[in-house]
Structure 1
Amino acid sequence: MEACAYFQYLGSLPFWLFALTAVGFFSLSKISFKSLWWVYISFLRPGKNLKKYGSWAVITGSTDGIGKAFAFQFARIGLNLVLVGRNPEKLQQTAEAVKAKYGKTQIETVIIDLAGDLDGGLVRLREKIEGLDVGILVNSAGVSYPYAKFFHEVDQELQKTIIKVNVEAVTKIIQAVLPGMLKRKRGAIVNIGSGAAIVIPSDPLYAIYAATKAYVDQLSRCLYVEYQKSGIDVQCQVPLYVATKMASIRKSSFLVPSADAYAKAALRWIGHDVRCTPYWPHSLLWCFVSLLPESLVDNWRLNFCLNIRKKGMQKEAARKKE
């Protein structure tokens, strides 16, 4: 009877008030569902068995930062590694460090200067992975500015390097590894994007870097649609600041994880979503930024980057005096 009385009451409301109530109810339901879903995917959803993709993982940028952290995390779960980098000594050091901790891991190394003789390096990569059950590719290598610069201040060499490493190399590495995955009808491709291209509406004074990462995001989305029915999962991971050499951040914190903390979180997301932010505090920041007016975020980011530019120019001037 109480339910009947409630519906009779609703029926007696003016239409505009009823419509407003309905919209409010559905909006609240939507927010509640999204909140519960976020809790589930951030803390409760189990990661996939990555060995089902294959027994080997290829990692670019494997001698530093996020790429190196991925190497240790993959070895921890029993995957063998193909480490890609330009420095033979650092490649060997990384391989030895992984072997020292996870002795059963098989490791191959491939020297590729992504900003130099890329095509020659790709020949070596194809030869190295021939016959290997490569199930996962992580494109972690990336290049940014040494410090914030206006677009007209970026010299041609730096511009060429950023585009070649972040766009051309990512594209061609995928083209080298993908045929084997198609043949085996399984695989996962993880491209490391950036909040500079996706989370914030603009990244002034890092324009070329942000644009190349937007390319990575769109490439990942397109390949995800193209190959999802072929047993291949393609994903763009979108970290915000991580304590790495490229970000010029040495000390980690709650909002700025270490490379190891990020990679550990990242493994749980592989194969689940086409675009994701594995480290959950980053996803909270993304949500907060999305609620702000774009002009406000633009102005904040411009002032933030102008400060980075000022400090960078001061350090550069001091080096020239030495």
Structure 2
Amino acid sequence: MMAWFASLVVLGSVYVAALAFRLLSHLTVCLRRCYGTWAVLTGPTSGIGWSVAMELARRGLNLVLVGRDPAKLRDISETISRAAPTVQTKTVLFDLSLLTTAQGEEAMRQLQQTVEELDVGLLVNNAGVLEPSAVFLHEADVEACVDMIRVNLLALTEVTAAVIPGMVNRGRGAVVNLGSASSEAIPSLPLYTMYAATKRYVARFSKCLHVEYRRKGIDVQCQAPFFVDGTMASRFAEARRFVPLTPTPDAYARAAVRWIGHGPLCVPNFRHQIMWFFAGIAPDFLQDGILLRDHLWQRNELQITRSLPEVCPIKQGGHAAA
């Protein structure tokens, strides 16, 4: 009996110590020097990206906005100018899915020239694509898979490689890569295999860079959110079950910016932390079965939708994928 009680005391002490260390780390990061006056953000024209851009602007950071739609880039730039008149913005037109083409190489050169002239202290690799979705691997469109790899994996790598040398020279900076709970918190994501695999790369890439660059004054972090309202979450059949635990993009952005610098992997939003906890205690076979069932249902629904004749085009609203 005494041994059992002593074990509980030890476990409790370790848990309290871990919480205290986490709080101390949080306070230390909040009080440390700023990383720099400029931030580079990919995918800023909708969803999480839009909200992160506005949150960074609210905190006084000038922004280099990297996206593929000139009208939407102009829209977010004008919105920032109205909300934060002292904040400067620059835009770089860059379709990340064209990275390995001549057009993509020219856009990358433009990005490199832009950041070389600025005190860039923060890079947020937010851009990502979800297609192909709800398909078996042998059914997936090859070109769509290539585009996903270019955006989710290759572009993130090359943009980081373009921005980080300046941080090394200045001895300070932070890189935030948007990963996904689909590769970290749950055992599998059937019928979204390519997406989960690319996001697993993001987490591993971030962890290794965190170790490499920490002594150079650079924090590298992967943030792994669950569903966020109005973005890619709407693509997942199971998202409707977790509406009470799904934050808005603005709520996620506020938490995401607060957590910059807090370790190589984090889940900034408290609602997502609750989901992470339950995902950790649920058996793998149970999660695998539920997700496979949900995604097979979604696959069937998408096949029915695609087979229906188009009678009248309907304009879709809402945010696009980040």
TM exceeding 0.5: yes
More displaced stretch, 70-79 vs 17-26: 17-26
What code does the residue aligned with 1:228 have? R
Displacement after TM superposition at 1:35 (Å): 6.6
Query: Please, which of 160, 179, 200 is the counterpart of residue 165 of structure 2?
Result: 179
List aligned pairs for 1:49-198, cutoff 5 A.
52-116=34-98, 117-145=103-131, 147-198=133-184
- Structure of higher CA gyration radius: 1
Provide structure 2 residue ranges, at least 5 long, that are not aligned to the other structure. Answer: 313-322
Aligned position for 1:240: 226
Displacement after TM superposition at 1:257 (Å): 1.1
Q: Distance in 2 between matches of 1:245 and 1:283?
A: 19
More displaced stretch, 63-72 vs 167-176: 63-72
What code does the residue aligned with 1:225 have? V
Aligned position for 1:277: 267
Displacement after TM superposition at 1:81 (Å): 0.3
Aligned pair count reads 304
Partner SS for 2:200:
helix
- Given the superposition, is the C-alpha separation of residues 303 and 50 from structure 1 closer, same or farther in structure 2, using an over 3 Å criterion? farther
Q: Give the aligned CA root-mean-square deviation in angstroms.
A: 2.5
Query: Please, which of 237, 249, 252 is the counterpart of residue 262 of structure 1?
Result: 252
Q: Distance in 2 between matches of 1:156 and 1:319?
A: 25
Displacement after TM superposition at 1:320 (Å): 5.2
Query: Please, which of 210, 213, 218 is the counterpart of residue 199 of structure 2?
Result: 213
RCO comparison, higher one (Cα < 8 Å, 6+) = 2
More displaced stretch, 20-29 vs 127-136: 20-29
Give CA deviations for 1:161-183 in whole Å, capped at 9, x if unaligned: 11010010000000000000000
Displacement after TM superposition at 1:137 (Å): 0.1
**4+ residue runs of structure 1 moved beyond 6 angstroms?**
35-38, 249-252
Identity %: 42
Contact 1:204/1:305 (CA < 8 Å) preserved in 2? yes
TM-score scaled by length of structure 2: 0.87
Contact 1:195/1:238 (CA < 8 Å) preserved in 2? yes
Contact 2:132/2:140 (CA < 8 Å) preserved in 1? no
Q: Distance in 1 between matches of 2:192 and 2:310?
A: 23
Partner SS for 1:115:
helix
Contact 2:132/2:144 (CA < 8 Å) preserved in 1? no
Contact 2:36/2:121 (CA < 8 Å) preserved in 1? yes
